[in-house]
Amino acid sequence: MKIIKNNSLFVLMFVVIIGMTLTSLSSWFFYTTKEKMVLEEYHKEINEYSDALYRDMLTNLESLHALSILFHEEASFDPKRFAYEAQTMLNRHPNTASFMWIPYTNHQKKREYFGVKYIEPLVNNEKKLGLNFASEPVYFDAFKKAINTGKAQLSASKIFVQNNIEKREFIMILPVYTLASLMVSNEKKNLKGFVLASYFPDALFSTASLDDEYDGIEIKIVDETILGNDKVLKVHHVNKKGTAHKTIKYNKKIPEVLGRQWTLVTTPSKSYIENKRDMLPLIILIFGIGFTAFLTIYIYSIVRRSRIIENIVEKKTKALSQANRDLKKFSRTDALTGISNRGFFDEFFKKELSHAVRNKSLLSLILIDIDHFKLYNDTYGHVKGDECLKKVAATLKGLVRRPHDLVARYGGEEFVLLLPNTENSQYMAEKCRKAIEDLQIAHGSSQNSSVVTISAGVYTIFPSKETSCELIIKTADKALYKAKEKGRNQVVQSSDDT
C-alpha cells in the first residue's frame, strides 16, 4: 500500500513537472519569437528612417547643383533671377533655411575671405549679408575642404542667436567653377564662388511624420565626425511613454554624406516593446497552467478513488485472512483444552518423523492417560471433568517449552507429547506426572490416590525409513498399558521388546 501511495505521488509530481515544463517552454518560445519579430520591426523602422534621411540629403545636394547652373554662365549675373530660382527651390525643399552665393576672390597674401553677397530669403537674414564665413573655424574648414577637393562639403553645426533664440545651424557648400574649366579640371584659379544652403537640424531631420509610428522610441541624431562632447544634433521623443528599455538599443549609421558621418542612436521604451507584443504567450501560459491543474486534479481524484477501493479491499482481505487464521486455528486446536487436537498432532507427527529419519535423530513420544477419569466424571459430573481436563492440559503445555515440542489432546482423557531430538524423555514424563499430582485435584473415587494422577508410556527411537507413526504410537501405548498394570500414577519407558 505504501509503494502504491509513493507511486501515485510520483505520477502526480511527474504530471505537474512535465505539464509546467511544456507550458513554460511553449510560452517562452512564442514570447521570444514575438520579441524577435518586434526587434526586427523596430530595426526595420529605424533603417527606413535612416534611408529617408540619406535620400533627403541627396535631394538637397541636387537643389544646390541646380542653383549652381546660374553661376556657370559667362554672362553677367542677375540677382533677381537668383532670388527667383532660390525661392523656387525653397518652396520645393522646405527643410532648407536659406540659399546663399559667395563669390571667390583669390587673395595671395591676405587672409581668405568668404563673404555672403546674395541670400534668399532676405527677411530675418539681413545680418548674414557680407558675413565672412572664414571667421568661423567650423565653416572655414568646410570651405577649405570644398576648395581642395572640388566637391560639395557639409560643415559641422554651429550655434548662433536669431531673434534672441539660440539655433543650431550647418551649411552645405558647393564650389562653382567657370563653364570652360568643367571640361578640364576644377583648379582653384577657375573657382568662381560657392553656392550655400543652410539647414536647421529640426527642419533637416524632420520627424513630424514619425510621431505615431515612432512614438515610444528615443532617436538621437549624432555627428560622429565631431571630436568632442557636442555631437548630438537632435533628439526625437525623449521617451514620453514609460522608462527606457535597459537591454534593447540599436545604433544605425547613415551613409556618409559630404564628409559627415551621422548615426541614429535609438532606445525604445518598455511600453513600446510591450505594446508591440501580443497576448498569445500569456494565453498559452494560463491555458497550460489550467490544463496541468485540471489533469493533476483529475489524476488525483482517480488515485484517491483507487486508494479508497484499495483500503476497502485491504480491510476485506485482512478480515478474510484473520478468519482463515481463526479457522485454521480452530481446525488444529482442541476446543475444550485450547491445546493442539488429534488432527494437527497426526499431521505434525508425520513431518517430525520424516525430519528425524532424514537427520538420523532421536524422536520421543509420551502417551498420557488420566487415572480413573471415568469414575471422576461419574462422581463430580462432566463440568468438573472438563475443568480437570483443562487444568491437566495447561500444566502439560507449561512444561513443554521448546519450539518443536508438541502437546496435544489425543482423545478423551488421553494426552500425547511429541519431543524431537530428546534423550531424557522418561525424565520429562516423570516431570509431567509429578506436576499433575502436585495440582492436588481431589479424586475421591480413585482406587490408587486421593488426587488426580496420570500414567505415562514413553518410547524413544532412532527412526528409519521403515518406521511408521502407527508403530511408535502402538509401542508407547503398550508402555502406557504396562504402567496401568503396575498400579497407575507412574511412568514406563518402552523398549523395542515391550
Tell how far CA 363 is from the center of its chain.
70
Q: What are phi and psi of 99, to 5 degrees?
A: -115, 145
State the alpha helices, DSSP H only, in 400-468.
425-437
DSSP per-residue codes, 34-81: HHHHHHHHHHHHHHHHHHHHHHHHHHHHHHHHHHHHHHHSSSPP-HHH
Name the phi and psi angles at 487, rounded to 5.
120, 5
Q: Are 215 and 241 in contact (CB under 8 A)?
A: yes
- For the question of residue 413 being annotated catalytic, the response is yes
Do strands 250-253 and 232-236 pair parallel, antiparallel, or not at all (unpaired)?
A: unpaired
Residue tagged active-site, from 413, 414, 430, 485:
413
Sheet containing 250-253, strands listed edge to edge, beginning at the edge strand earlier in sequence: 232-236, 217-223, 262-268, 250-253
Sign of the dihedral defined by the CA atoms of residues 308, 314, 320, 322, in that order: negative
Per-residue burial over 354-365, b = 16 or more CB atoms within 10 Å of its CB, e = otherwise: eebbeeeebbbb
Whose CA is closest to 187, among 173, 172, 195, 175?
175
Alpha helix (H) residue ranges in 360-418 = 373-380, 382-399
Can you tell me the distance from the alpha carbon of 271 to that of 280, in angstroms, rounded to the nearest whole number? 17
Please state, in angstroms and as integers, the Cα–Cα distance from residue 492 to each residue in 152, 189, 383, 422, following that order.
Answer: 146, 160, 31, 16
Residue 340, SS3 per DSSP: strand
Please say whether the beta carbons of 385 and 376 come within 8 A. Answer: yes
- To which H or E segment does residue 146 belong? helix 137-149
Instruction: Return d(Cα 120, Cα 197) in angstroms, integer.
Output: 10
Nearest-CA neighbor of 52 among 202, 204, 200? Answer: 204
Q: Which helix (H) or strand (E) holds 209?
A: none
- Sheet (strand 454-461) strand order: 406-411, 414-420, 363-370, 454-461, 491-493
Active site positions, annotated: 413
